[in-house]
Amino acid sequence: MPAVVIVGAQWGDEGKGKITDYLAEGADTVVRYQGGNNAGHTIVVGKSTYKFHLIPSGMLYSEKTCVLGNGVVIDPEQLISELDELQKTGIDTSRLKISDQAHFILPTHKLLDQRAEARKGAAKIGTTGRGIGPSYRDKVDRRGVRVGDPAHPDRLMQLLVEHVAELPDDVTKDWPAERIAELLTKSYQRLKTHIVNTPTLINDILDDSGRVLFEGAQGTLLDVDHGTYPFVTSSSPTAGGACIGSGVGPTRLNVVMGVAKAYSTRVGSGPFPTELNDATGEKLRQVGHEFGTTTGRARRCGWLDLVALRYAVRINGMTHLAITKLDVLDAFDELAICTGYELDGAVTRNFPSHLTDVERAKPVLQKMAGWKTTTTTARSWSDLPPQAIAYIARIEEVLRVPVALVSVGAERTATFSRLAIWEGL
Ligand code: GDP
Ligand code: IMO
Ligand code: MG
């Protein structure tokens, strides 16, 4: 019953899609457990680039079951268009299973998300505008519409009448309950063959000794509880979220693989202690192609933050780390990593719990030598230059977690493993 969870260890976009694809080869099933199409997970195979927003990144392997768990929020039109696109490339999409307990993102949720952001002006969160927050809000408020609801038309109408009753008139004018019901019913018909009881499915697979890979979206510092609240998403991307969002108990998880870039990025608003608003930050952005997969926005860039990463190790109970984009640092003479935060004259190794303290924190930076040579062709630990080995060894020393996987390029083959993952379970 091996289960491996992949979590973003920073602010999202760490390369989770690429690492999921790498580990999916040895898995039977890949499960998304939270978030929605705010995610953008990229996989590059040869000349083809695939961008997954909702569909799990295991879909490229023809024999894997892929699951959208109960914790995911689903924009039905987006899901159908992603399915159609994949089908066009010849991929068998019948392997996608969708939880009947997952919640829908309604068209009204997207409008509410975008309006709330516009209203906040400079104080905006910088959401993806995909309706994520409003959908999760309705879920927690116990009035969300779930994927299985269109099978019960009376119940569906009752939920939607209640939903629109709370909306401003100019929103309901375009989206009366009947129009939303029609959209959901049509989507349900299209998706019906994929909709199942996923906690039963996943537990059955584990009981039969199947290997299950959980694919987190977003990242630890965007977690609604543990991130830089309120500049977070509305779900739990951390390892605990894998249990809640899939219906699998914590005792069944064997490996928690955190994915971190060799530096830091963030897209959207909120504190970012090691951010570089200078030529070095711009160089990281350009060399790392740091522009969002979902919204195309420029990502903010900075040095690797081991205070934030150590926090992520603890919050997730991380057993292993995957370091991605090491090759992006090839271009730098000198590097720096943050080993502490200076706050009120004292240095702490702990990530502050209040936003204002994260905003005030001054990073304590340790200089590290660059390697100024290409790592993109490295396919084993011994292929790395000594300075790159020293950089990773320092990460392991501070975090006390082994770096099991190293990624040195966007392409599928540009990853190597230092430790067996599935084989060791
Ligand atoms: P995710 O949301 O965590 O799956 O990450 P994204 O796909 O949003 O962003 C990661 C970006 O970096 C994508 O464009 C990947 O193709 C790319 N990428 C992933 N790993 C590497 C790597 O090791 N080196 C380089 N140069 N690019 C990488
Ligand atoms: P992946 O899975 C990076 C950020 C948004 C915003 C905040 C809230 O590709 O790593 P939301 O639309 O979720 O309400 O936005 O979270 N955000 C991400 N940042 N990667 C993501 O996903 C993200 N999903 C949401 O930019 O700051
Ligand atoms: Mg992404």
Identify the active-site residue in 21, 28, 41, 163: 41
Alpha-carbon distances of 284 from 128, 233, 331, 332, 354, rounded to whole Å: 23, 25, 9, 9, 28
For residues 403 and 270, state if they share a domain: yes
Amino acid at 238: T
Q: Do 214 and 87 share a domain, yes or no? A: yes
Same domain, 86 and 201: yes
Nearest atom of ligand 1 to the alpha carbon of 415? 23
CA distances from 245 to 2, 69, 71, 137 (A): 18, 6, 4, 16
Are residues 215 and 131 part of one domain?
A: no
Say if CB 237 and CB 216 are below 8 A apart.
yes
Pairing of strands 415-417, 103-104: unpaired
The domain that contains 285 carries what CATH number? 3.90.170.10
Please name the helix (run of DSSP H) or strand (run of DSSP E) that holds residue 422, with its range, or none: none
Q: Residue 233 C-alpha to ligand 2 middle, in angstroms? A: 6
Please identify, among 193, 212, 240, the residue that sits at the C-terminal boundary of a domain: 193
Q: What is the span of the domain harbouring residue 13?
A: 3-100+197-417
Specify the residue with its C-alpha closest to ligand 1, atom 25: 409
Q: Tell which atom from ligand 1 comes closest to the C-alpha of 41.
A: 4
Looking from the CA of residue 113, the nearest atom of ligand 2 is 14
Q: Where are the beta strands (DSSP E) in 65-125?
A: 65-68, 73-74, 96-99, 103-104
Would residue 422 count as lying in a domain?
Answer: no
Secondary structure class of 4 (helix, strand, coil): strand
Last residue of a domain, one of 176, 193, 210: 193
DSSP state of 106: P
Amino acid sitting at position 136: Y
What is the CA 228 to chain-centroid distance, rounded? 16
Domain end position, chosen among 193, 221, 243: 193
- Measured from the alpha carbon of residue 408, the closest ligand is 1
10 lines ligand 2 (CB under 6 A): no
CB of 401 closer than 8 Å to CB of 313: yes
Q: Is the CB of 128 under 6 A from ligand 2?
A: yes
pTM reported for the whole predicted model:
0.98
- Tokens 């711009």 map to which residue? 282
Same domain, 279 and 378: yes
At which residue do the structure tokens 């066009």 appear?
Answer: 88
Residue 43 β-bridge partners: 50
Q: Are residues 273 and 378 in the same domain?
A: yes
Q: Which residues have a Cβ under 8 Å from the Cβ of 309 and sit 6 or more positions away?
A: 9, 10, 258, 260, 395, 399
Q: Please give the chain's pLDDT, 425 residues, in tens.
A: 699 999 999 999 999 999 999 999 999 999 999 999 999 999 999 999 999 999 999 999 999 999 999 999 999 999 999 999 999 999 999 999 999 999 999 999 999 999 999 999 999 999 999 999 999 999 999 999 999 999 999 999 999 999 999 999 988 999 999 999 999 999 999 999 999 999 999 999 999 999 999 999 999 999 999 999 999 999 999 999 999 999 999 999 999 999 999 999 999 999 999 999 999 999 999 999 999 877 889 999 999 999 999 999 999 999 999 999 999 999 999 999 999 999 999 999 999 999 999 999 999 999 999 999 999 999 999 999 999 999 999 999 999 999 999 999 999 999 999 999 999 78
Q: Are residues 229 and 263 in the same domain?
A: yes
**245 and 306 housed in the same domain:** yes
Question: Is residue 425, in this structure, part of any structural domain at all?
Answer: no
Task: Give nearest CA residue, ligand 1 atom 18.
Answer: 410
Q: Which protein residue has the closest C-alpha to ligand 1 atom 6? A: 13
Number of domains in the chain: 2
Torsional class of 268: left (φ above 0), alpha (ψ -120 to 50), beta (otherwise): left
- Radius of gyration of the CA atoms of the chain, in A: 21
Going from the Cα of 180 to the center of ligand 2, the distance in angstroms, rounded, reads 26
13 is catalytic: yes
Who contacts 344 (Cβ-Cβ below 8 Å, separation ≥6)? none
